Amino acid sequence: MIILRKIALPAAQEIYRNGTIVADTISGSLDGSNQTFYTTYKYKQDRIDLHFNGQALHAPYDFDQTGDNEITLIYIKPESDEHLRATYEIDTSGYDPSYRGATPVLFNAVSQDVVFPSPLADVSYNANIELVTSDGNPSVYSSVVGSKTVNGFTVFFSGEIDTGNYILEWEVFR
């Protein structure tokens, strides 16, 4: 099943899952002469669909993929953005797969430190976390990423963990 969703506008390329597909508006000057527009996220080449006034546009006949998040329309010059939409697969090439793991959570813990295998260059990363149980029961705790350093981050739980069955799955995106 493919689920289309609008995810929060990032400060940088922040992707939460490989192969995420988004339905998105595209931005650019709407003066009736501009033909260059930008997607919110970096898209995979040849994995973008555009629609103008409900009609599908096709590359390379109707538009060119001229950059990581840039498209150039060939003959259309939109005057309003409500008629121009894009659906595309996000390019996850900025993701470093060595920065992910599963950390057991101790009984009675209210937080959990995650330590990277090697330091990152800076703290401009995004951490995707999920608290799961090893016994198959759903997690009853919410969790949030607290402090971040180049060596890792701390996750805080909504209460004391009541069993030793919890595992914190995490991955880091730049």
Give the span between the Cα atoms of 173 and 17, in whole angstroms. 10
Three-class HEC string of 42-71: CEEEEEEEEEECCEEECCCCCEEECCCCEE
pLDDT tens-digit readout, 1-49: 444 444 444 433 344 455 667 777 777 777 777 788 888 777 888 888 8
pLDDT tens-digit readout, 80-132: 666 778 888 877 665 555 588 889 999 999 999 999 988 988 887 778 888 88
- What local confidence, expressed as pLDDT, does residue 19 receive? 62
Q: Is residue 78 reached through a cis peptide bond, with omega within 30 degrees of 0 on the bond before it?
A: no
The more confident residue out of 17 and 171 is 171
- What local confidence, expressed as pLDDT, does residue 151 receive? 93
Token digits of residue 96: 């470093």
Pairing of strands 21-25, 126-133: unpaired
- What local confidence, expressed as pLDDT, does residue 16 receive? 44
What mean pLDDT is predicted for residues 151-160? 93
Contact 60, 72 (CB under 8 A): no
- What local confidence, expressed as pLDDT, does residue 150 receive? 92
Same CATH fold, 96-173 and 21-90? yes
Token digits of residue 173: 């995106």
Q: What CATH code is assigned to 96-173?
A: 2.60.40.2080
Contacts of 46 (CB under 8 A, 6+ apart): 59, 65
- What local confidence, expressed as pLDDT, does residue 93 receive? 65
pLDDT tens-digit readout, 61-86: 888 988 878 888 888 877 766 677 88
Q: What CATH code is assigned to 21-90?
A: 2.60.40
Q: Where are the domains of the chain?
A: 21-90, 96-173
